[in-house]
C-alpha cells in the first residue's frame, strides 16, 4: 500500500531539492493515467480533486477511486482535496478517505483566512493527514485577477495556520493554456527567506518548464499543480478517437484510447520535477 499524505511526499522534496506534481483529475481515465505515469517515472504523485471534478463526481466516490489506485501503486500516491472552500468540504473529504486537505481562504481577510485554515489544519492533523492553505490570491486566465502574496503576510500565515504546505501567488494564473508567463522569482525568494515550509504553485501549466525545473531545484517550491496542459492532452486524444470512426458509440472503447497519450503527457510533466527514484 502506497497511500501517502502530502507531508510524506513534500518533506523529502523540500530536503532534497525537487518537486512533486499535483495533477488535477476530472475522472477515472485521467487519474489512472497519472498513476501509470508516476509508476513509469518511479516518482510520487498527488491526485487532486478540484471543484469541477467534485461537481461531476461526489467526494465519497472520488475518495474510493483515489485510494484504490494508491493502494495498488508501486509509488507514493496522495489523495488530495484541491480548493476546499468550506469546513464542510474538508470534513467530507477527510471522511471519504482523502489524505490531504487544501482549504482555500485566499479571498478572505488575512486573519480570517488564518483562523479558518488553522481549524482545518487541526482537524486534518488529528486524523493523521495533511493540510495545504493559500495566502495571496491566484487569479484565472480571462477571469478574476490575482492578488500577489505579501512575504510578511506569508510568514504570519505559515506560523499561525499550522499548514503543511502553503500556496502562494507570484505571477501564476489558473487555466493558462500557454507558457508565455513566468513566476516572480524575487518575490519567491523573499517568501523563502521568511518561511520554512513547502511552497505550492497553483496554475502550474502556465509556468515555463525550464523555470519549473529551476525552482524545484533552487527554492522551497515543492509542488506544482498541473491541470490545463493535461486536460488539453486528454481532449486532443479523445477528439482523435471520436473523429477517426464516426460510427463508434461505445464510450469505453473511445476513452481507452486516451490512456497512452495522457500517460505520456503526465510522464513529461513529472520527469521535469526531478524526483529521484523511489526506493
Q: Which of 8, 30, 82, 104 is catalytic?
A: 82
pLDDT for res 55? 92
- Averaged over successive runs of 10 residues, the pLDDT of the chain (279 residues) comes to 93 97 96 98 97 94 98 97 96 98 94 97 98 86 68 96 95 64 87 96 88 94 95 94 90 93 97 88
pLDDT for res 102? 97
pLDDT for res 176? 61
Kindly calculate the radius of gyration of the chain based on its CA atoms and give it in whole angstroms. 18
pLDDT for res 267? 97
Active site residue 82: yes
pLDDT for res 105? 94
Strand segments (E) across the chain: 3-4, 20-25, 45-49, 77-84, 100-103, 130-135, 165-168, 199-201, 221-226
End-to-end Cα separation, the chain, in angstroms: 14
pLDDT for res 213? 94
- Return the domain boundaries, the chain: 3-228+262-272
Q: Whole-model pTM?
A: 0.94
CATH number of 3-228+262-272: 3.20.20.70
Q: Which residues contact 85 (CB under 8 A, 6 or more apart)?
A: 51, 103, 104
Amino acid at each position: 500500500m502506497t497511500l501517502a499524505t502530502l507531508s510524506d511526499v513534500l518533506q523529502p522534496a523540500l530536503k532534497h531539492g525537487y518537486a512533486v506534481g499535483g495533477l488535477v483529475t476530472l475522472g477515472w481515465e485521467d487519474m489512472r493515467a497519472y498513476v501509470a505515469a508516476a509508476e513509469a517515472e518511479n516518482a510520487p504523485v498527488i491526485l487532486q480533486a478540484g471543484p469541477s471534478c467534485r461537481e461531476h463526481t461526489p467526494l465519497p466516490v472520488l475518495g474510493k477511486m483515489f485510494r484504490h489506485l494508491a493502494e495498488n501503486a508501486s509509488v507514493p500516491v496522495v489523495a488530495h482535496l484541491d480548493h476546499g472552500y468550506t469546513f464542510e468540504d474538508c470534513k467530507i473529504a477527510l471522511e471519504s478517505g482523502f489524505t490531504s486537505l487544501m482549504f482555500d481562504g485566499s479571498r478572505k481577510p488575512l486573519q480570517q483566512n488564518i483562523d479558518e485554515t488553522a481549524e482545518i489544519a487541526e482537524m486534518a492533523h488529528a486524523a493523521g493527514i495533511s493540510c495545504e492553505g493559500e495566502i495571496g490570491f491566484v487569479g484565472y486566465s480571462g477571469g478574476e485577477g490575482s492578488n500577489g502574496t505579501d512575504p510578511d503576510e506569508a510568514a504570519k500565515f505559515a506560523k499561525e495556520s499550522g499548514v503543511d504546505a502553503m500556496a502562494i501567488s507570484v505571477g501564476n494564473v489558473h487555466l493558462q493554456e500557454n507558457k508565455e508567463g513566468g513566476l516572480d522569482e524575487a518575490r519567491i525568494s523573499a517568501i523563502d527567506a521568511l518561511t520554512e515550509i513547502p511552497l505550492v504553485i497553483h496554475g502550474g501549466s502556465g509556468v515555463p518548464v525550464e523555470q519549473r525545473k529551476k525552482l524545484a531545484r533552487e527554492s522551497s517550491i515543492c509542488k506544482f499543480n498541473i491541470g490545463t496542459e493535461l486536460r488539453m492532452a486528454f481532449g486532443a486524444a479523445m477528439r482523435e478517437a471520436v473523429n477517426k470512426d464516426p460510427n463508434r458509440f461505445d464510450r469505453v472503447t473511445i476513452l481507452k484510447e486516451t490512456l497512452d497519450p495522457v500517460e505520456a503527457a503526465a510522464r513529461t510533466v513529472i520527469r521535469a520535477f526531478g524526483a529521484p527514484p523511489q526506493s
